[in-house]
Amino acid sequence: MDIEIRKSGNPFGTHRVIEPKNVLPQPALKIDNNMSYIWDNEILVDVKTLNIDSASFTQIKNKCLNDEKAIREEILRIVNEKGKMQNPVTGSGGMFIGKVLNIGDKLRGKIDLKEGDKIASLVSLSLTPLRIDKIIGIKKGTEQVNVSAKAILFESGIYAKLPKDIPEQLALAVLDVAGAPAQTQRLVKPGDTVVIIGAGGKSGVLVSYAAKERAGVTGKVIGIEYSKAGVDKMKRMGFCDHSLMLDATDAVSCYETVRKVTDGRMADVVINCVNIPNTEMASILMARERGIVYFFSMATSFTKAALGAEGVGRDVDMVIGNGYMKGHAEIVIDILRKSKIIREDYEKHYV
């Protein structure tokens, strides 16, 4: 593809920042999404599908009263205004799948990509230059938006080639939350008691699998869901030793229930996977002293978490949900390959 190549782009993409100057693309208010040229250290991608971050998509749906036309218009408004898909309320983005169109001269031969490769971006849409020409449709029951669009990956950006044995839409769904099960493998130790808020959700199921595998027969996995359907799904998956129906915005009820289930010991690790606000205190109270609370949810207020833990005198280690961990894409794809029940369930929703 013939396209103008500009020289000496910044590795982190600051050359695309319009406003304000001297900041990185993620916190920037507006970035350059002109796709008629690329810098010598950029990758131009023909985008097929966006996977909007769950907290962001939920906020947009609620704002638009679940009207698909209004949702499409809101997504286009955000991208046209900011040059990227960054929800102004949640601050979060998502990811995409697409086909490589052009690779900047500086990157040629130094990365494992060639034009025509199908990839998934593993960096947030909240920092990715994106131009949407058309929204083709939104897959019902998911956060996946089919588009005709183009995007830029910076030199520092991470990606994964789409595996040939996994349908593209399925790969997109799990790669979007790949950081959660990967970080779970890192945080959970054999014999641990693990509480997972939202264990029946997209990321929660994968986290439950990883937690059960790591905690082993001497450990205990406790899943929490708000609805009966969520509890039924946890039981059907079979990764949780206890499947509890609780409202994670009711911190005291969650604390009292988990205290009974654990005979007062509480959890070694609490993992929050839900996409709604005000679940910080339940997460903190269910952890033991010097336990670990992992906030994967982008709906988390870290002010509420930090000040709330102080307010109840809880000495816990709180971990921000970094969506990246080395090898996280391989870890989550491997879970799909190993777990027949997860793959079958996800295929029903995403394929």
Tens digits of residue pLDDT in 295-315: 998 788 989 999 999 999 999
Same domain, 185 and 151: no
**169 found inside a domain:** no
Domain final residue pick, 103, 130, 162: 162
Same domain, 155 and 211: no
Domain final residue pick, 132, 162, 192: 162
Same domain, 147 and 13: yes
- Are 142 and 53 within 8 A, CB to CB? no
Pairing of strands 118-121, 30-31: unpaired
Is residue 195 exposed (0-12), middle (13-18) or buried (19+ Cβ within 10 Å)? buried
Other CB atoms closer than 10 Å to residue 147's CB: what's the count?
26
Same domain, 139 and 190: no
**190 found inside a domain:** yes
Same domain, 102 and 201: no
Same domain, 119 and 22: yes
Domain final residue pick, 136, 162, 188: 162
- Identify the domain containing residue 260 by its residue range: 179-344
Q: Is 83 left (phi over 0), alpha (psi -120 to 50) or beta?
A: left
pTM over 0.85: yes
**170 found inside a domain:** no
Same domain, 77 and 189: no
Same domain, 203 and 330: yes
Q: How many domains would you assign to the chain?
A: 2
Same domain, 157 and 183: no
CA distance 15 to 42: 11
Same domain, 132 and 197: no
CA distance 226 to 250: 11
Same domain, 55 and 26: yes
Same domain, 194 and 335: yes
Tens digits of residue pLDDT in 197-238: 999 999 999 999 999 999 999 999 999 999 999 999 999 999
Tens digits of residue pLDDT in 17-67: 999 988 999 999 999 999 999 999 999 999 999 999 988 999 999 999 999
Copy the structure tokens of residue 155: 């030199």
